[in-house]
Chain A
Amino acid sequence: MENSLELAGITKAFGRTGVLADIDLAVQPGEFLSLVGPSGCGKSTLLRIIAGLEHQDAGQVRIAGRVVDRLSPRARNIAMVFQNYALYPHMSASENIALPLKVDRLSLAERLPLLRYLSPRRPRIERDIVEEVGKVAEALQIEPLLARKPGQLSGGQRQRVALARAMVRQPSLFLMDEPLSNLDAQLRVHMRDELTDLHRRLGATFIYVTHDQIEAMTMSSRIAMLDGGQLAQIGSPAELYERPASLVVARFIGSPAINILPARLDASGSVLVGNLPAGLVVPGRIAGPVSLGLRPEHVRLHAVCERPMPMATIRRSEHHGADRLLHLDLVEDRKAGLIVRIPQDDSGRYQPGETYGIGFAPEKAHLFDGDGMRMAVTGTAPARIGAAA
């Protein structure tokens, strides 16, 4: 239970605007949990509530099994890394890193100018602090930078100093608020790697807020997706990718984004795309519009159509290294497009301007009802369009 975090019924509103509604979440010790969602979904507010920087209107926060609602951020034994690093501008890197330890171990009087020289134990404590700062700096390879002020550091270096300041107190919980979003693309990939590595070495619990689904997918043990102040889904990256609970999750996770085709459920429970049966059966639901989701890698292009199937024309072909992305327009409905991922080797076969039939394996399709919630597909009908041969 040592580094666990539990949220129960967290609700928060700013004035009349509801930000978070009844969030329940349990984070296991040592877990790397990402909070993702579009901007304004409440993920940063939730993180600040965990930190104690904001207070929830209702609900409870428990860290290591202990209710911390009335505790100050400091007493919660957490560390936080901010989007803009939030280093103290007039202090050197080593002073920045040392500050949390000084606050922890020296009394207020021992931190005051002049008065502090009266304390006999201060020099010994400060020596220990310098030593610990040195160790953390060594672990993050920022020793040569310790004397510099934040203004003399690059973005990546500032980020490391901010991490060192978070690590130095050995907190049970690391809270990170989009820490990589101000770095350039290359450095971001590198820091992603370092953070994952750091998480493994420290064995601490990480709560990581990001709007970048790639960061969440690559680093987390679990992802909690927030949408409109509610928990849309929580699960492993694979679960969110393979079984998104709603249209919102399906659209947010995955790059390029999932293809969503407008479809219809008829009275018999069979799914129609255009007027063609899609080969999926959902009995017991009221007929009406539904959405069919297909990941780019799950779309099959058929040059020869054995059955009637939706047709699409290749508009553009993009080189993405190992694979190639084809942008297609549906022939029946020019406004609806879709993206298909194919291996680079096949690129010679698909040229812009060519028209193909759109097919897919039914078990790879995602179906969402009129409210955008996932529908269980119970069976496949015999007349399926473009089923894999």
Chain B
Amino acid sequence: MEAARISLSSGRWFRFVGAHAVLLIGAAFMLLPFLWMLLTAIRAPDEILTGGLNPIPRSFHAVENFTAAMQQAPLLRFMVNGVIICAGILVIQLLVAIPAAYALAKLRFPGRGLLFAAVIGGLCIPIQVPALPIYLALAEFGLLDSYFAMMVPFFLSVFAIFLFRQTFRGFPDEILQAARVDGLGEFEILWRIVVPSALPAIAAFSIFSIVAHWNDLYWPMIVIQRMDYAPPPLGMLFFANSETGASYGVLMAGATIITAPLVLVFLLARRRFVQGITMTGIK
């Protein structure tokens, strides 16, 4: 229908349909777990393990599952924790990475090449490598079980530095020179002139960062013992162990609730996100 309306020639029509068929299959794979989560969240408990692969629930149990999830688990608490952690990490990441990336992209100073090589090297080190030393240090200072412990390893994002450096490099030098002639200092040039034109890249990175840390289970599990500080995934884990046992319907209802904000954020920033990714040439 779509294809017919925009009247494509037959060769292009087949390519159009073929491409979209492939994309649809990919999308189905991505969406199926979410769909199943949603379906499980609205099923009755007896149906979950016995219902087979039948997608349509025989009896709807949505209200019960969602109220149970809201009542039994401090979901709101988990989500507030998630917001605090994600916001804290993101703000510091941007404050650190943007000036660093600007210096690497636009300022001439000795050792720049070496520093950039170090950034590239940093991209190759996963969090698991420094996890133990960071844990020991936090324990030494008595900082375990705090928001700070959950955020500190991620304050410095080499990925952000790399991404922003690629973006800033394309910014015309002439405009920087004009700003210098007009009397702006380097920091003002960065925040007033360069950053506003790099908003798509910043939005793209923000989504990466928020999704990664909202969903992060590994690091919070290491440093957090008390449920008060738990971000959503860790909270769900505590919740699954202690309260619900095998009540998958309630568990999935909880999972649905904590996933919803991410989906919303992505939908809101989708256009910027795509711009940012295509602009920097990182696909």
Contacts and interface: CB of A to CB of B under 8 A. Distances in A.
B90 to A, nearest CB: 19
Interface residue range, chain B: 10 to 19
Contact of B183 (A83, A86, A100): A100
B174 A74 contact: no
B175 interface: yes
Interface in B160-174: 172, 174
A199 to B, nearest CB: 19
A104 B182 CA distance: 8
A74 B188 contact: no
Contacts of B196: 90
Nearest to A54: B177
A51 B181 contact: yes
B172 A86 contact: yes
Given A108-B188, A111-B188, A88 B181 contact: no
B270 interface: no
A5 interface: no
Nearest to B187: A108
A79 B175 contact: no
A90 to B, nearest CB: 4
Contacts of A52: 180-181
Contact of A104 (B179, B183, B185, B188): B183
Contact of B172 (A48, A79, A80, A84): A84
A350 interface: no
Contact of A74 (B180, B193, B197): B180
A236 B196 CA distance: 46
B118 interface: no
Contacts of B180: 52-53, 72-74
A79 B184 contact: no
A73 to B, nearest CB: 4
A103 B197 contact: no
Contacts of A88: 175, 178-179, 193
From B178, B181, B193, B196, name the one whose CB has the most chain A CB atoms within 10 angstroms.
B181
Contacts of B174: 82-84, 86
A191 interface: no
B180 to A, nearest CB: 5
B197 A89 contact: yes
A99 interface: yes
A78 interface: yes
A80 B177 contact: yes
A108 B188 CA distance: 9
A50 B110 CA distance: 25
Nearest to B179: A88
Contacts of B184: 99, 103
Contact of B182 (A74, A84, A108): A74
Interface string A234-263: 000000000000000000000000000000
A240 to B, nearest CB: 29
A87 B172 CA distance: 10
Interface in B59-81: none
A104 B175 CA distance: 18
A82 B174 CA distance: 7
Contacts of A80: 177-178, 181
B175 A73 contact: no
A297 B197 CA distance: 53
B188 A86 contact: no
Contacts of B179: 88
A86 B197 contact: no
Contacts of A83: 174
A158 to B, nearest CB: 12
Interface string B10-51: 000000000000000000000000000000000000000000
Contacts of A72: 180, 183
B243 to A, nearest CB: 45
B178 A82 contact: yes
From A72, A86, A165, name the one whose CB has the most chain B CB atoms within 10 angstroms.
A86
Contacts of B197: 89-90
A23 B196 CA distance: 40
Interface of B: 172, 174-175, 177-185, 188, 193, 196-197
The 5 A-B residue pairs with the shortest CB-CB distance in the complex, in nearest-first order? A74-B183, A86-B178, A103-B183, A86-B174, A100-B182
Given A51-B181, A52-B180, A86-B174, 16 more contacts: A48-B177, A51-B177, A74-B181, A79-B181, A80-B181, A82-B177, A84-B172, A84-B174, A86-B175, A87-B175, A88-B178, A90-B197, A103-B183, A103-B184, A104-B183, A108-B185
7 contacts: A51-B181, A79-B181, A80-B177, A86-B175, A87-B175, A99-B182, A100-B183
